[in-house]
Structure 1
Amino acid sequence: MVSVPTAKLRREPLKKGNSIDHLAYVDVTPIIGREYPHAKLKDMLQAPNAEEQLRDLAITICERGVAFFREPQDDLTIEEQKYITDMLGKLTGRPAENGLHVHPLYNDPNNIPMADGTTDENMQVLKNLDKTHLAPYVINAEAAKKLYATMKNRPGANNEPRDLAREWHSDSLFETCPSDFSFLRMESTPPTGGDTLWASGYELYDRLSPAFQALLEGLTATCAQPVFRSACEAGGYPVMTPRGSPLNAGYAFAPSHPVVRTHPVTGWKSVFAGVGLHVSRIDGVHAYEDHMIREYVMRLITRNHDCVARMHWTRGACAVWSNVCTLHAATPDTHLVEGNRTGVRASGIGEVPYLDPASTGRREGLGLPRY
């Protein structure tokens, strides 16, 4: 049960109802993740109280960070996957003008089609690129080659082992309005490898000392991805615009986001733009301080594996998560096994991130001990 702080919040936390209490589940860890071993999202859509169930699912995801659906969801269409992703945001207070994210490089003529041979501006086809890793934010192999050619320190640029810390990210942090919910459905996967990990931004915040909490709450980070402009120029096609919000337009791929933000659904503070693939630097600090802060946030992830939920993918399984309070990372090991890993993902677009001084950490909000 969420406890509401005494100070008035910018948005009051949403209270979950009991419409999905009939679904069997297991919490992946005490801190993050919930798995539904038998639930079918199609059944949820066809229920007479479908919107009530989707709203309660959305609030559950915002509290738990990520939800896994283990039963194969093969009966779910692309349009239904898009609808669920969109409704999760709409039913929890997303700005009315916002919708599903559009990938900036959708105009590339070489996009990998979905299983039915079509493409969709709101869907990303995530596929192994030259059998080394699952593309984190590109939608086809040809576009990836052009994009990587413009990147500094790109994957495979040297003969050293890959730094897997680079994989951690929240979706669309390079947008003024980043993603709220993401929904990934795995169409095919090898028998082992390619796991995805999610880390709780709530718990990362709660692991900070009060002095460091105060420091990070006063900081923003630039989340620049100039590679999208260079990829469009190299490919000779225009960038997609707008992208799920009127504020996500043109080549504006360098917003500053709060290092600690408030989740509007729960009212809890989360480490947000403190580290990861899309964070280019902490604003207003010296270069060494920038490096130190980001290295420390990454250390919180790697040294506190109880903050992490891991999904071993099986065919047809799904994950739906809140980008506001989690970071995630794909494991680039599928080149060691036979078979490809292919999935389709939709992402919604939420509000401009903010820190509400009246919000609390998750542990304080739930009345849990500090450690």
Structure 2
Amino acid sequence: MISANPEAPKLKFEPMKYGGSLDHLEYVDVTPIIGREYTKARIRDILHADNSEEQLRDLAVIISERGVVFFRANQDDLSVDDLKKFTDLVGKLSGRPKENGLHVHPLYRDPGNIPMGNGETDENIYVINSEAAKALYKTMAGKGSKEPKDLRREWHSDATFEECPSDFSCLMMEETPASGGDTLWCSGYEIYDRISPPMREFLDGLTATCAQPVFKSACTAGNYDVMSPRGSPLNVGDKFAPVHPVIRTNRQTGWKSVFAGVGLHVTQINGLYDYEDKMIRDYIMRLITQNHDCIARMHWTKGAAAIWNNSCVWHAATPDTHLVADGVRTGIRASSIGETPYLDPASTSRREALGIPN
């Protein structure tokens, strides 16, 4: 439990506490460290429950503590509006800035964007589709490389390229291939706990630039304007190069997590020489790849959904569906926009807060 020491520094945000409103739902914890799967629950039932806000608030606590939550049952009764409302309310009820809402993808106007399964488009819904991604990101640096693909680059947290990144993202899978297409999530909490105390103290003071120039280059190549604002009054323009803390505090739990130390959008750790920057990022990536007990894996089934907290997990899609005949994997994702990332001096690691020895 979090320390009740009256002399302990006070956190910027009071950690949320679980109230028990979801105890009636069957679940299994995916690993001891990360992930929970609700085996039969339907999101629509939570949305329309008499105590809906209580359940959604409790769900925000569980997601923030476990990192990611899977809904295994086919959510075929969940409309696009329901998905948006669900994601929006989880963010809102967990204390995000009042002026923020759902993210708007920068490239929504791109003709490469494909519609949802119902044939419609929505600025707050990003359609996950590997073929569409090829068209959207054809101007990304390194696209023409003949080198074997480095799948370490797949790790990221959503909208890190924004001043206010995403807090919660929810993805519902509409079409799945016969095999492959899994998504992995890794606990930034646990990766932080596996770093030595002197190294943690060093990393606590660092920031990283999270530049993603592909959005501006795509708009230039396609001759259309970037979407703006994008879920927050601070997410405007086409610079896409914010500075974020390498270690951040999760506002829902008060626990520290590695955040901008690695990932698709992280371009440099600031203030270091080039070799030092590479060394630190390689070190954090090594922690991810050598500690697979920090990872939860979702093998998608039609209509399944996942919701995660981008403040404390990275995720990576497995790009292997091209190896399967008719290997189509299509899903729709909504993302809430949280606060500007921060490191609270009063925050602690997850294990320290819960009294779990390293």
Look up the match of 1:34: 36
Confirm or deny that 1:303 pairs with 2:305.
no
Q: Supply the distance in 2 between the matched residues of 1:369 and 1:103 (Cα, whole angstroms).
A: 41
Partner SS, residue 35 of structure 1: strand
**Distance in 1, Cα, partners of 2:146 & 2:125:** 33
Equivalent of 2:20, from 13, 18, 21?
18
Partner of 1:64: 66
- 5+ residue gaps, structure 1, are 130-139
Query: 1:320-356 deviations in whole A, cap 9, x for unaligned?
Result: 0000000000001111112311000000100000000
Which of 95, 105, 120 is matched with 1:118 structurally? 120
- In structure 1, distance between residues paired with 2:3 and 2:89: 26
Partner residue in 2 for 1:147 = 137
**Alignment: residue pair count:** 355
| Distance in structure 2 (CA, Å) of the matches to 1:220 and 1:243 | 23
Calculate the aligned-residue CA RMSD, in Å.
1.1
TM-score, scaled to structure 1: 0.94
1:247 aligned residue (218, 225, 234)? 234
Does the aligned pair in 2 maintain the 1:147–1:230 contact within 8 Å?
no
Contact in 1 for aligned 2:108/2:227 (Cα 8 Å) = yes
User: Over residues 165-193 of structure 1, what are the superposed CA-to-partner deviations in whole Å (9 max), with x where a residue is unaligned?
Assistant: 01000000000000000000001101210
* Cα gap change, 1:59 to 1:3, in 2 (>3 Å): farther
Corresponding residue of 1:137: none
SS in 2 for 1:270: strand
Q: Which residue of 2 aligns with 1:356?
A: 344
Partner of 1:133: none
Q: Secondary structure at the match of 1:290?
A: helix
Corresponding position: 1:344 with 2:346: no
> Could you tell me how far 1:153 is from its partner in structure 2?
1.7
Partner residue, 1:292: 279
Partner of 2:312: 325
Aligned counterparts of 1:100 and 1:213: Cα–Cα separation in 2 = 33
How many Å apart are 1:77 and its aligned residue? Answer: 0.3
1:190 and 2:177 aligned = yes
- Superposed CA offset, 1:223-280 (max 9, x none): 0011111110110100000000000001130000000000000000000000010000
SS at match of 1:185: strand
Q: How far apart, CA to CA, are the structure 2 residues paired with 1:251 and 1:355?
A: 26
Q: TM-score, normalised by structure 2?
A: 0.97
Letter in 2 for 1:206: D
Quickly say closer, same or farther: Cα 1:105–1:329, change in 2 above 3 A: same
Any idea what SS the aligned residue of 2:341 has?
coil
1:79 to 62, 81, 104: 81
Aligned with 1:209 (options 196, 204, 207): 196
Measure the CA separation in 1 of the matches of 2:142 and 2:115: 29
Residue 3 of structure 1 and its aligned partner are, at CA, apart by 4.4
